[in-house]
Amino acid sequence: MKTILITGCSSGFGLETARYFLDRDWRVIATMRTPRQDVLPHSDHLRVLALDVTDPDSIRRAVQEAGPVDVLVNNAGIGMLNALEGTPMEVTRAVFETNTFGTMATIQAFLPQFRQRGSGVIVNVTSSVTVKSLPLLSVYTASKSAVNAFTESLALELEPFGIHVRLVLPGRSPETRFGENANSRRGEFPDAYAALAQSIFDRWQASTETLTSPRDVAEAVWRAATDPSCPIRLPAGADAVKWAQEAQNA
């Protein structure tokens, strides 16, 4: 029986991915900054661990407590929706600390066991806004685009050791807390950008485009974890697939 460790499992994509792998008889280590056993079904194959990807001591403890892991999924992330002009630099740094440096630090901590074993899969969950640029998401997009570039280079670096590295790029999802956690840290929104913001929100509300569900992301992570022949980039959700195709044909 294989073991998967997933970061950011308190809600959204991480929570659904944990459920998905539990249903398929994997050992699941679901990590959260504040562990909550009640959000996941009871299972002898489930462990819930504390992990703050911005805290080196927390990462070290999680590696020790987890033991051998076959698949590492870096899903923990925070949203950021604001014009750059209204985004305090401390907020920008916080976004990068979680979305970019947190991913790097977690991978670095787990790599020795993967390399020594000569196997393993690392899946980094980023975003399709790295494929289709949108306004008011410049800081968030930059933090996720950095992970894309990092992942593609790391895949070449780790290939000689039998370690596969993959990217899952979700589209826009109404079923996650992105908007909620983006608004909680964005700072003051500049009045000069209000008309632009309203036009974007109106367009989103009027859109009939099929959006991404947490299940779409869980299925993409499953493929990344279990199919050695899959491409390095896996769009997750109908909108993400559409955006990826448009980018490829541009």
CA angle 12, 71, 37 (to 5 degrees): 45
User: Rounded distance, CA 140 to CA 94, Å?
Assistant: 11
Identity of the amino acid at 64:
Q
CB 21 within 8 A of CB 4: yes
Token pair for residue 104?
């790097």
Catalytic residue among 140, 150, 178, 243: 140
Token pair for residue 151?
């992942």
Token pair for residue 68?
């051998």
User: Rounded distance, CA 5 to CA 121, Å?
Assistant: 11
Token pair for residue 30?
């679901």
Nearest to 9 by CA among 42, 36, 45, 43: 36
The values of phi and psi at residue 90, to 5°, are: -65, -30
Note if 20 is an active site residue. Answer: no
Pairing state between β 71-74 and 120-125: parallel
Active site residues: 140
